[in-house]
């Protein structure tokens, strides 16, 4: 018994002595990166920008500052080494929040950069991705008005817009899901600097991992309706009715979509049915909302507007050969003979679209 105890103590001491050298990552001795940006550097090169919070001691209060480092290299790993050389503390990517990609770089293809972060186990799966209209480094090093905590500002801005507003929801996992899916193409929100403030400009569409073009805010909303069910969003519609032009603001929009594929005809027909429920909170027209049929008319106008625009967009996507709405996925689910290449090259080009929108305006506001 005694020798056993002695053995145990010896073992314990050994372990303590020998493992004291496990690499620690004490929170105040590392640079916790919150935002990463990728840009082009010349023809082949890559420019990587990272930002992380630092704390300056000022009396009893610690003032939070922000540090930005920038490096040029050929690969992501190379850039990380160069960045480390410029940093006071080791760089850690575990609290990475936002990943920004410059427009020019995105045209070249983004798979390598995102994949390199996906492979890094310390990087989360939910991080926010965005394309930057211009250079990512400009947004990262630029002055973030509002003085909010660094790193959280950008991701909060984008998340908030995804949840409440106009751009379709995505994050690193969903981007990769679409990217590695043979029947789907990814999209990202686009950030831009306008009047010295950062804002959302629209949605960037990709074909495979290459950035193709941007959708404006209004079209982004349509894309969102076609891809995901929405909750609690608000949207403003311009109505061109017979007598007058007016603006209607809908709030608490809940939407659902149903998609189906009809393969009975010569060409497959992809049909989307979008159900929208909302409340009018603002109406600039002269008529009284209490008036008979007015709400019904507004509903009809909005329905037409959405259906028409959706169909145009779908046809545009088809003609450009990209598939952010995941038409291919629906096709795949109806066939046992799925060949991605055949689908993309021949079948997709023959698909015809049909969009039905059902708008239901529930009540016309709490105040009359």
Of residues 19 and 44, the one with the C-beta less far from other proteins? 19
Site track for other proteins across 65-104, x = CB under 8 A: ---------------------------x-xx-x-------
Q: Is 20 in the site for other proteins (CB under 8 A)?
A: yes
Q: Which of 151, 168, 268, 278 binds other proteins (CB under 8 A)?
A: 151
275 vs 357: CA distance, rounded Å: 6
The string over 126-147, giving b where at least 16 C-beta atoms fall within 10 Å of a residue's C-beta and e elsewhere, is ebbbbbbbebbbbbbbeebeee
Would you mind telling me the total number of residues written for the chain in this entry?
368
Q: In what order do the strands lie in the sheet with 35-41?
A: 61-73, 45-58, 35-41, 98-102, 128-132, 187-194, 197-207, 210-216
* CB-nearer residue toward other proteins: 94 or 296: 94
DSSP 29: G
Burial class (CB in 10 A: 0-12, 13-18, 19+), 364: middle
Interface residue with other proteins, options 10, 90, 122, 350 (CB under 8 A): 122
CB of 16 to other proteins, least distance (A): 7
Cα 135 from chain centroid (whole Å): 17
Q: Which of 77, 86, 126, 263 binds other proteins (CB under 8 A)?
A: 126
Residues 170-189 that bind other proteins (CB under 8 A): 173-174, 176-178, 180-182, 184
Question: Quick check: helix, strand or coil at residue 339?
Answer: coil
> Which of 181, 162, 158, 281 is CA-nearest to residue 223?
162
Q: Does 55 bind other proteins (CB under 8 A)?
A: yes
Residue from 145, 149, 232, 350 binding other proteins (CB under 8 A):
149
Binding site for other proteins (CB under 8 A): 8, 11, 15-16, 18-20, 22-28, 30, 32, 53, 55, 57, 60, 62, 64, 92, 94-95, 97, 121-122, 124-126, 149, 151-152, 155, 173-174, 176-178, 180-182, 184, 329-330, 333-336, 338
């Amino acid at each position: 018994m005694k020798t056993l105890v002695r053995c145990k103590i010896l073992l314990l001491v050994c372990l303590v002595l020998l493992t004291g050298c496990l690499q620690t990552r004490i929170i105040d001795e590392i640079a916790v990166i919150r935002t990463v940006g990728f840009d082009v550097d010349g023809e082949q090169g890559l420019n990587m920008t990272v930002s992380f919070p630092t704390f300056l001691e000022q009396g009893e209060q610690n003032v939070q500052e922000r540090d930005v480092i920038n490096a040029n290299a050929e690969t992501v790993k190379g850039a990380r080494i160069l960045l480390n050389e410029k940093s006071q503390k080791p760089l850690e990517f575990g609290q990475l929040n936002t990943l920004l990609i410059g427009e020019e770089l995105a045209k070249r293809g983004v798979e390598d950069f995102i994949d390199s972060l996906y492979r890094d186990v310390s990087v989360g799966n939910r991080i926010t991705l965005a394309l930057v209209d211009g250079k990512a480094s400009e947004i990262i090093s630029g002055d973030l008005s509002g003085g909010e905590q660094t790193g959280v500002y950008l991701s909060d801005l984008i998340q908030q817009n995804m949840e409440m507003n106009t751009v379709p929801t995505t994050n690193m996992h969903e981007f990769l899901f679409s990217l590695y899916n043979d029947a789907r193409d990814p999209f990202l929100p686009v950030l831009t600097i306008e009047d010295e403030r950062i804002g959302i400009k629209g949605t960037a569409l990709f074909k495979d991992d290459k950035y193709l073009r941007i959708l404006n805010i209004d079209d982004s909303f349509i894309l969102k309706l076609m891809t995901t069910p929405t909750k609690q969003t608000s949207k403003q519609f311009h109505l061109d009715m017979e007598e007058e032009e007016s603006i209607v603001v809908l709030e608490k929009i809940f939407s659902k979509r149903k998609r189906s594929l009809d393969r009975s005809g010569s060409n497959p027909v992809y049909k989307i049915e979008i159900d929208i429920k909302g409340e009018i909170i603002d109406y600039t027209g002269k008529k009284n909302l209490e008036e008979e049929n007015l709400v019904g008319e507004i509903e009809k106008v909005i329905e037409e507007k959405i259906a028409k625009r959706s169909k145009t967009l779908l046809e545009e996507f088809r003609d450009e050969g990209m598939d952010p709405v995941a038409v291919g996925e629906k096709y795949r689910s109806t066939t046992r003979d799925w060949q991605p290449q055949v689908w993309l090259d021949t079948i997709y080009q023959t698909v015809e679209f049909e969009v039905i929108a059902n708008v239901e305006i529930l009540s016309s506001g709490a105040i009359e």
